[in-house]
């Protein structure tokens, strides 16, 4: 960015009589401290989470990660992340499967199909969906969505497709992994679609014209030019959406029903890493239980960081690739 170079330049070429002003130093030090403070903050977060989980790490080691157990009864305490890891995986992956075609469809609609008058309002509406707090979506999930799912959708899916283990015996309250998947889909939809929308808007117009001028249909052009060009960005969007899904604690805990469950029946209750923490934190009776919950948080943090850094790396790589190609040779 030119401004930083410019002012850095001004520093390196002092005019006659220009001395290092206290104000300049002070501002740079204070602002720099703030900036590096952010780095310290992130490191502190990691440190504190590890420290909080230490009692559980020392007692259970690595095996905690896949152990399926959560028994808080004093004297027979045994904790493990296995079922919650499973819950996180199954809810986030299914939510991603549902949200991806919807998000791509919305992004394509907004960039290729929407007539001028409705383009802006629909874009704003989709962004608004992102602004709804998770606790409100969760409230709606328990009180509106879950009853509907329990009374109509889940029984229907069970009778029609019950031979698929996914659609087993429905529960009694409608709070289930399935409901959580629907809620998570709603929550990650706006993020993925708005990133994809920005991507599609950034595709050079000449590329699309070149394809259409050959006599291809709009869809053929999208498949042949838009998707390949935006491939990296779409991947990053999906990863970011997935990261959001695994981190969502509140809405999920409101609708997922709770329990230690590893199985294929989506209509069963269960828990994810995040939802278990939110559900059990206040009632954590022993230090070991609290530390085990924090251990869950540590696992969640690791996955989030991986997703975040992966997405950032993809974006940087894709930006460089397109940067080179757009600059071009003569």
Scanning residues 230 to 289, which ones bind another protein (CB under 8 A)? 240, 243, 246-250, 254, 274, 277-278, 281-282
Q: Report the DSSP beta bridge partners of residue 78.
A: 71
Task: Kindly state whether residue 68 participates in binding another protein, applying the rule CB under 8 A.
Answer: no
Task: Kindly state whether residue 317 participates in binding another protein, applying the rule CB under 8 A.
Answer: no
Q: Select the residue interacting with another protein from 14, 36, 147, 161 (CB under 8 A).
A: 36
Q: Which of residues 169-208 bind another protein (CB under 8 A)?
A: 186, 189-190, 193, 204, 206-207
User: Would you report the helix, strand and coil content of the chain in percent, each value rounded to 5?
Assistant: 75, 0, 20
User: Quick check: helix, strand or coil at residue 216?
Assistant: coil
Q: Select the residue interacting with another protein from 21, 62, 75, 76 (CB under 8 A).
A: 21
- Please, which residue, 76 or 329, has the CB nearer to another protein? 329
Identify which range of 9-17, 62-70, 71-79, 259-267 contacts another protein by CB under 8 A.
9-17
Identify which range of 32-40, 57-65, 66-74, 158-166 contacts another protein by CB under 8 A.
32-40
- C-alpha dihedral, 160 to 162 to 168 to 170, nearest 10°: 20
121-160 as b/e, with b when 16 or more CB fall inside 10 Å? eebeebeeeeeeebeebbebbbeebbeebbeebbbebbee
Q: Select the residue interacting with another protein from 24, 61, 165, 201 (CB under 8 A).
A: 24
Task: Kindly state whether residue 209 participates in binding another protein, applying the rule CB under 8 A.
Answer: yes
- Please, which residue, 89 or 139, has the CB nearer to another protein? 139
Q: Select the residue interacting with another protein from 61, 202, 210, 263 (CB under 8 A).
A: 210
Q: Select the residue interacting with another protein from 65, 68, 89, 114 (CB under 8 A).
A: 114
**Residue 246: how many CB atoms within 10 A of its CB?**
24
Task: Kindly state whether residue 227 participates in binding another protein, applying the rule CB under 8 A.
Answer: no
Q: What is the secondary structure of 169-180 as a DSSP string?
A: ---SSS-SHHHH
Task: Kindly state whether residue 73 participates in binding another protein, applying the rule CB under 8 A.
Answer: no
Number of residues interacting with another protein: please give it, by CB under 8 A.
120
Residues 197 and 282 sit within 8 Å (Cβ to Cβ): no
Task: Kindly state whether residue 28 participates in binding another protein, applying the rule CB under 8 A.
Answer: yes
d(CA 297, CA 284): 14
- 290 CB-near residues (< 8 Å, 6+ apart): 52, 281, 284
Tokens of 113: 């199909």
CB of 41 to another protein, least distance (A): 7
């Amino acid at each position: 960015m030119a401004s930083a170079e410019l002012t850095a330049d001004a520093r390196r070429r002092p005019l006659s009589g220009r001395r290092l002003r206290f104000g300049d130093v002070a501002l740079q030090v204070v602002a720099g401290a703030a900036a590096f403070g952010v780095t310290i903050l992130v490191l502190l977060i990691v440190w504190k989470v590890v420290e909080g989980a230490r009692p559980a790490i020392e007692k259970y080691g690595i095996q905690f990660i896949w152990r399926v157990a959560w028994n808080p009864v004093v004297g027979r305490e045994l904790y493990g992340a296995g079922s919650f890891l499973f819950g996180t995986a199954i809810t986030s992956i299914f939510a991603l499967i549902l949200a991806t075609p919807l998000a791509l469809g919305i992004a394509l609609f907004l960039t290729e199909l929407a007539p001028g008058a409705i383009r802006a309002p629909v874009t704003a509406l989709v962004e608004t969906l992102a602004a709804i707090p998770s606790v409100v979506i969760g409230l709606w999930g328990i009180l509106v969505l879950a009853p509907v799912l329990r009374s109509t959708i889940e029984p229907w899916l069970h009778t029609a497709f019950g031979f698929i283990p996914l659609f087993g015996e429905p529960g009694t309250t409608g709070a289930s992994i399935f409901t959580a998947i629907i809620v998570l889909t709603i929550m990650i939809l706006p993020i993925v679609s708005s990133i994809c929308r920005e991507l599609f808007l950034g595709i050079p117009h000449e590329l699309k014209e070149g394809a259409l001028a050959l006599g291809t249909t709009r869809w053929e052009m999208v498949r042949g030019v838009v998707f390949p060009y935006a491939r990296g960005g779409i991947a990053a969007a999906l990863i970011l959406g997935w990261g959001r899904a695994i981190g969502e604690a509140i809405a999920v805990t409101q609708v997922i029903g709770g329990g230690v469950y590893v199985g294929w029946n989506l209509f069963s209750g269960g828990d994810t890493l995040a939802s278990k923490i939110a559900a059990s934190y206040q009632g954590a009776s022993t230090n070991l239980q609290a530390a085990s919950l924090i251990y869950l948080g540590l696992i969640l943090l690791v996955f989030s960081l991986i997703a975040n850094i992966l997405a950032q790396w993809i974006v940087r790589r894709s930006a460089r690739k397109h940067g080179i190609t757009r600059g071009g040779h003569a």
